[in-house]
Structures are given as structure tokens and as C-alpha cells.
Amino acid sequence: MTRLTNEECVSRYGAATAAHDMTTQATLRHPEWSVFWPQSGERVHSNEAFAEIIANYPGGAPKIEITRTVGAEDRWVLTAGNTMMRVAGSGDFWWSEWRVLYPDGEEYVVVDLIELRDGLVYRETMYWAAPFEAPAWRAPWVEREG
């Protein structure tokens, strides 16, 4: 397989995640991949274990919509000595925002922090939050969306 840019890897990974395409997810994951869920204190260490979690989810797999992915490719500059130098800082670190609808009707907003290694998804840390009604007292100072 031709090496993807980090942006291509993360974009394809997001699409595979939303489609529950375990085969594509596995090809885009580093051999040492894991995902950590801080709110429950759980870490998944293998593609097989992750696939079993999705396959055994009560009521069926949640519906996932990737709403935004943020990151930047590594940049390269030409030094005074006429050599190429990599300016790193965000190329291997990306994040995406999802909307998840669970089989029981609950909806959550998810933020997935993604670390790449060797052009593959290496580590993920995911946070879930349930939407809530904005308090009326803030109405004079905010703009409501959606």
C-alpha cells in the first residue's frame, strides 16, 4: 500500500469508523494501536477486541457521524545550508469531533484525540459528552446554533 499522508490516513480512518468498517480500520492502525476511554477507565489493545465490542453492542452498533477533523500536515523548510528540515508539531496529532446516536436513542458528542506513528493511527483517547439544554439566563450573551 502506498504511504498515505497523515491527513489522508485520518480522513480514511474517520470514514471507516463511521461505517464500522473494521477491516479498513485495522489496515490504518499501527500494530501497537490502542484506544483509551478516560471516563470509564478502559483501554482496548487490539483490533479484534474492538471489533467484538462493536459486534456485541446491546441493540446494535451506534450510528456515527464525523462532524469535523482538525490537524495539520508536517511542514518542510529549506535551511540556510540548503538542506530540508522537518518542522513538526502537529503532523502526528489530530482530533476529530463526532455525533453518536446509540440504539437506545441517546445522542452524544465525542472528541477523539488521535496520535499517529509511522503514518498509522497509533493511540486514541476518546471523550463523550451528552448534549444539554442551555440555561435561559445566558441567552442575552450567546448565539444559539442548531
pLDDT in tens, 66-125: 988 888 765 555 555 455 544 444 688 988 998 899 999 999 999 999 999 999 999 999
pTM over 0.85: no
8 A C-beta contact, residue 20 and residue 32: no
Determine what percent of the chain is predicted with pLDDT higher than 90: 67
Instruction: Indicate if the pLDDT at residue 1 is higher than 60.
Output: no
Going from N- to C-terminal start, the domains of the chain cover 6-130
Residue 111 sits at the vertex; the CA angle it makes with 64 and 5, to the nearest 5 degrees, is 85
Measured distance CA(18)–CA(100) in Å, rounded: 9
Residue 87's pLDDT is 44
Measured distance CA(122)–CA(115) in Å, rounded: 6
Measured distance CA(125)–CA(44) in Å, rounded: 11
CA quadruple 57, 61, 67, 68: dihedral, nearest 10: 60
Tell me what the pLDDT averaged over the chain comes to: 87
Choose among 59, 47, 56: nearest CA to 17.
47
8 A C-beta contact, residue 104 and residue 85: no
Residue 71's pLDDT is 83
CATH architecture assigned to 6-130: Roll (3.10)
Enter the C-alpha cell of residue 18.
463511521
For CA atoms 25, 29, 32, 38, the dihedral sign is negative
Residue 88's pLDDT is 42
Length of the chain counted residue by residue: 146
Residue 91's pLDDT is 80
